[in-house]
């Protein structure tokens, strides 16, 4: 019988998601982000309210993001709609709107994880192209990073993905 290691009595779940060789543990779709043209955020919020969504969160995010966001929820689902309005011409959201012919459209899809750092380490070790140098603060107290739509030459995603850790949520 092999010798017992001191860590043998520690639950496997304690270490789950902390190793770079384990899949990142996606829990569910956190949100679908929609890029909204400058000046249209409030009218978009009104339209979503008319079909039953309610506003959960509103925040202006500076730094490299340069957006105003509104998070909307339908029912009790953990899946949200995130409306993103650019605050400047340098905003990545504005650049995306420009690439889309000046129209609103899908900005990214966010996946919830227990540990953004563990997911980052795993995806980096697997050769995925990560937009951020490390997980960073996101809105509503989250920790986030983005996976580039062209992460792999042979099979690009074609969609920007955001990985979201929410320490305030029960998963």
CATH number of the domain that 39 lies in? Answer: 3.10.180.10
Residue 170 lies in a domain: no
**Confidence at residue 57, expressed as pLDDT on a 0 to 100 scale:** 93
Residue 49 lies in a domain: yes
Kindly state the tokens that stand for 148: 């580039």
- For residue 119, the SS3 value is helix
Residue 1 lies in a domain: no
pLDDT per residue over 19-75, tens digit each? 555 677 899 999 999 999 999 999 999 999 999 999 999 998 888 889 999 999 998
Residue 16 lies in a domain: no
Residue 12 lies in a domain: no
Residue 67 lies in a domain: yes
What is the domain count for the chain? 1
* Domain span including residue 31: 23-165
The model's pTM: 0.82
Residue 6 lies in a domain: no
Name every residue whose Cβ is closer than 8 Å to that of residue 85 and which is 6 or more positions away in sequence: 36, 37, 38, 39, 40, 41, 67, 68, 69, 93
């Amino acid at each position: 019988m092999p010798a017992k290691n001191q860590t043998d009595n520690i639950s496997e779940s304690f270490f789950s998601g902390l190793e770079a060789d384990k899949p990142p543990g996606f829990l569910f779709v956190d949100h679908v982000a929609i890029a909204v043209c400058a000046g249209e955020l409030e009218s978009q919020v009104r339209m979503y309210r008319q079909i039953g969504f309610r506003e959960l969160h509103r925040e202006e995010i500076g730094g490299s993001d340069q957006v105003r966001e509104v998070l909307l929820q339908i029912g009790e689902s953990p899946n949200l709609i995130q409306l993103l309005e650019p605050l400047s011409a340098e905003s990545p959201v504005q650049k995306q709107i420009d690439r889309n012919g000046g129209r609103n459209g899908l900005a990214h899809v966010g996946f919830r994880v227990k540990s953004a750092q563990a997911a980052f380490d795993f995806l980096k070790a697997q050769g995925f192209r990560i937009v951020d140098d490390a997980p960073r603060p996101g809105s509503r107290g989250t920790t986030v990073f983005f996976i580039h739509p062209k992460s792999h030459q042979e099979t690009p995603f074609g969609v920007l993905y955001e990985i979201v850790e929410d320490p305030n949520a029960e998963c």
